[in-house]
């Protein structure tokens, strides 16, 4: 592992909206990146969905948490916290006390930069080639830390107005304010949980058409969700079979977490795995390439 990595990269999977698939996408992205290099998957979401989903309930309940490493009075080291998994990547687990860490970070000097200076700077390019952060669904110091530490974001988005609202909040409250201080690259915007046809006026169609036609987002859509305006016309004229863009709703994706596994390990033949591979490509090369 870790042979062909030219540019180590840290990335945050973020959207200020729950239930869009942050944990699923970040975990499976980490899993596919582990085929290319050494990966740390960091769960910064206090709900611990990914940590518990991978079977690390004990770590989630542990007395040692992130705060013991990144806060001034901390007595633990990263090695006390990071756990190996059976899935080729290491895990920096969430904890049920992470919300307290959030409060302490708010009072700390340069509190937004703690994860960068204490975790990412010492580890990235040295012990790991890629670090993937699963972020909370609400704004706060943990999200700020992830953004400052990575400078790269992957934004999952699902059909429906509440998800699009979450995307807007993410830009307004997180990414644009951060850009007053640091460069933040949106590597890709990932349509997730797609299940309806796009040759009819569904919310799925609306999301995909908007993302694919807006100047600011069209370049960020992965190839597996890319449909040009001409292709939409051809689909509507019945000249072209409607494709199945985006990460599709699959029972195996939600089930895999119940069985404490990434999709690659739970169902290696699943038809959505190539999409997660493409996301890993995008992170490895630093953006969508057409």
Neighbours of 99 (CB within 10 A): 13
Rounded least distance, CB 55 to other proteins, Å:
34
Q: State which residue, 76 or 108, has the beta carbon closest to other proteins.
A: 108
Q: Which of residues 34-93 bind other proteins (CB under 8 A)?
A: none
Which one of the spans 49-57, 74-82, 85-93, 165-173 is the region binding other proteins (CB under 8 A)?
Answer: 165-173
Let me know: does 109 contact 77? Beta carbons within 8 Å.
Answer: no
Q: Which of residues 166-195 bind other proteins (CB under 8 A)?
A: 167-168, 171-174, 176-186, 189
Rounded least distance, CB 190 to other proteins, Å:
12
Q: Which of residues 124-163 bind other proteins (CB under 8 A)?
A: 139-141, 144, 148, 157
DSSP state of 131: E
Among 61, 216, 228, 255, binds other proteins (CB under 8 A): 216
Cα separation, 115 vs 69, in Å, equals: 9
Among 217, 254, 260, 270, binds other proteins (CB under 8 A): 217
Cβ-based neighbours of 170, under 8 Å, separated by 6 or more: 14, 15, 16, 17, 155
Q: Which of residues 257-286 bind other proteins (CB under 8 A)?
A: 285-286
Cα separation, 56 vs 50, in Å, equals: 9
DSSP of 138-197: S-SHHHHHHHHHHSEEEEEE-SSHHHHHHHHHIIIIIIHHHTTTS--EEEEEEE-SB-S-
Q: Strands 152-157 and 9-13, how do they pair?
A: parallel
| Residues contributing to the site for other proteins (CB under 8 A) | 6-7, 109-113, 139-141, 144, 148, 157, 164, 167-168, 171-174, 176-186, 189, 207, 210-211, 213-217, 219, 285-289
């Amino acid at each position: 592992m870790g042979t062909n990595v030219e540019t180590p990269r840290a990335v945050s999977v973020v959207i200020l909206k729950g239930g869009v698939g942050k944990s699923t996408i970040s975990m499976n992205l980490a899993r596919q990146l582990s085929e290319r290099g050494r990966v740390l998957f960091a769960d910064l979401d206090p709900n611990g969905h990914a940590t518990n989903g991978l079977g690390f309930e004990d770590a989630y309940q542990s007395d040692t948490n992130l705060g013991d490493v990144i806060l001034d009075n901390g007595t633990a080291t990263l090695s006390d916290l990071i756990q190996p998994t059976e899935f080729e990547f290491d895990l920096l687990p969430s904890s049920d006390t992470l919300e307290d860490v959030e409060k302490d970070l708010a009072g700390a000097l340069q509190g937004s930069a703690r994860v960068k200076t204490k975790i990412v700077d010492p580890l990235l390019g040295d012990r790991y080639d890629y670090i993937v952060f699963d972020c909370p669904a609400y704004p706060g110091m943990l999200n700020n830390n992830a953004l400052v530490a990575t400078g790269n974001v992957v934004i999952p988005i699902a059909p429906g107005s509440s998800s699009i609202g979450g995307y807007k909040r993410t830009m307004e409250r997180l990414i644009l304010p951060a850009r007053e201080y640091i460069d933040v690259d949106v590597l890709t915007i990932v349509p997730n949980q797609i299940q309806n046809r796009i040759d009819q006026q569904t919310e799925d169609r609306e999301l995909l058409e908007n993302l694919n036609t807006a100047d600011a987002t069209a370049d960020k859509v992965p190839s597996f969700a890319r449909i040009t305006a001409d292709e939409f016309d051809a689909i509507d004229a019945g000249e072209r079979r409607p494709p199945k863009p985006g990460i599709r709703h699959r029972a195996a994706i939600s089930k895999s977490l119940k069985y404490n596994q990434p999709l690659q390990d739970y169902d290696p033949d699943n038809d959505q795995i190539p999409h997660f591979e493409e996301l890993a490509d995008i992170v490895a090369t630093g953006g969508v390439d057409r």
